[in-house]
């Protein structure tokens, strides 16, 4: 039985790999469709192997549920997943992200007027961005209660530093020639900020904003492990793990993955719109 399971899994792998190798080394390998198809086939192959192995080896659902069970759970629990999504992502992560980003942006603009402050903020901010700030979650939960406000605060602090450092670095990214040109136009501080330095900083700012989307989700979910109302993705994950309802945990992770890549994609899309002039956006 075990042998049948393993040979079957290897056969699935071989088929998927054969198709992908043919596609990737074939004449149309640069086509857009193939570029999309190959990773999808790879993902499907892994899912099929997972399903096959779990079913054939009769792995206990407490250890690893098959993908089909996760899918069923996802569909049947859609209302609850939506409520969790609203609580954690929209109220917790998005509010915190917005406040953190606006605060970082404001501080960066203020600090940018002084070279002294800039030189201080860049190393300190870079240092803070590398620290395990998620650890402040229990403190914020104690201060602000277990509602979404404490999650927003954790998220705000987590996203603040990467955005700050990137914005400050971006605002310095103009050449002396460009600044001189603005001066010959008679542009003062504000016009040159809005027309030269902010646009030039946009690729950096969006880099920070994109890093921060993942951080925001992590902060909001992990902070719920420390106390939350009876709704929310982190709450559901920790209680479902306790009840050994692992298919529910996986369903939440699917939601987190969709939310994470959607947010990142959204930021990348806005970036493409705003910084269409930048070399990295050229097709």
d(CA 85, CA 259): 9
Least distance from another protein to the Cβ atom of residue 54, Å: 12
Question: Which residues, including other chains, have CB under 8 Å from residue 140's CB and lie 6 or more apart?
Answer: 150, 151, 153, 154, 157, 223
The label of the residue with tokens 């793990």 reads 241
Least distance from another protein to the Cβ atom of residue 38, Å: 4
Nearer to another protein, 17 or 269 (CB): 17
Nearer to another protein, 111 or 192 (CB): 111
Least distance from another protein to the Cβ atom of residue 165, Å: 12
Residues of this chain that interact with another protein (CB under 8 A) are 17, 20-21, 23-25, 29, 34-35, 38-39, 41-43, 60, 62-64, 116-124, 127, 130-132, 134-136, 138-139, 141-143, 213-214, 217-218, 221-222, 225-226, 233-234, 237-238, 241, 244, 246, 249-250, 252-253, 256-257, 260-261, 263-265
Nearer to another protein, 19 or 56 (CB): 19
Question: Which letter does DSSP use for residue 260 in this model?
Answer: H
Nearer to another protein, 153 or 192 (CB): 153
Least distance from another protein to the Cβ atom of residue 181, Å: 28
Q: How many residues does the structure list for the chain?
A: 283
Nearer to another protein, 12 or 134 (CB): 134
Nearest to 209 by CA among 257, 258, 269, 154: 269
Least distance from another protein to the Cβ atom of residue 90, Å: 15
Residue 225: Cβ-neighbour burial (10 angstroms; 0-12, 13-18, 19+): middle
Question: Which residues, including other chains, have CB under 8 Å from residue 189's CB and lie 6 or more apart?
Answer: 113
d(CA 234, CA 212): 19
Nearest to 80 by CA among 231, 267, 244, 269: 231
Least distance from another protein to the Cβ atom of residue 71, Å: 17
Nearer to another protein, 102 or 241 (CB): 241
């Amino acid at each position: 039985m075990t042998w049948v399971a393993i040979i079957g899994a290897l056969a699935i792998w071989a088929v998927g790999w054969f198709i992908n190798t043919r596609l990737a080394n074939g004449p149309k390998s640069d086509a857009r469709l193939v570029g999309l198809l190959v990773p999808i086939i790879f993902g499907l192959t892994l899912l099929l192997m997972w399903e096959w192995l779990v079913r054939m080896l009769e792995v206990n659902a407490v250890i690893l549920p098959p993908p089909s069970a996760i899918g069923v759970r996802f569909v049947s629990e859609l209302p609850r997943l939506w409520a969790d999504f609203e609580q954690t992502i929209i109220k917790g992560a998005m509010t915190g992200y917005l406040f953190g980003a606006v605060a970082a942006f404001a501080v960066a603009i203020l600090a940018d007027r002084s070279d002294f402050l800039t030189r201080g903020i860049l190393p300190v901010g870079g240092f803070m961005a590398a620290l395990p700030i998620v650890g402040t979650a229990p403190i914020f939960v104690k201060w602000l209660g277990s509602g979404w406000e404490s999650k927003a605060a954790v998220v705000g602090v987590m996203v603040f530093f990467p955005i700050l450092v990137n914005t400050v670095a971006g605002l310095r990214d103009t050449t002396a020639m460009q600044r001189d040109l603005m001066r010959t136009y008679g542009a003062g501080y504000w016009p040159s900020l809005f027309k030269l330095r902010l646009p030039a900083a946009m690729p950096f700012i969006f880099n920070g904003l994109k890093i921060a989307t993942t951080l925001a989700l992590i902060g909001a979910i992990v902070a719920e492990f420390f106390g939350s109302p009876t709704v929310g993705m982190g709450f559901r994950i920790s209680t479902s793990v306790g009840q050994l309802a692992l298919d529910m945990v996986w369903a939440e992770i699917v939601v987190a993955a969709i939310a994470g890549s959607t947010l990142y994609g959204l930021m990348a899309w806005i970036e493409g719109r705003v910084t269409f002039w930048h070399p990295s956006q050229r097709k």
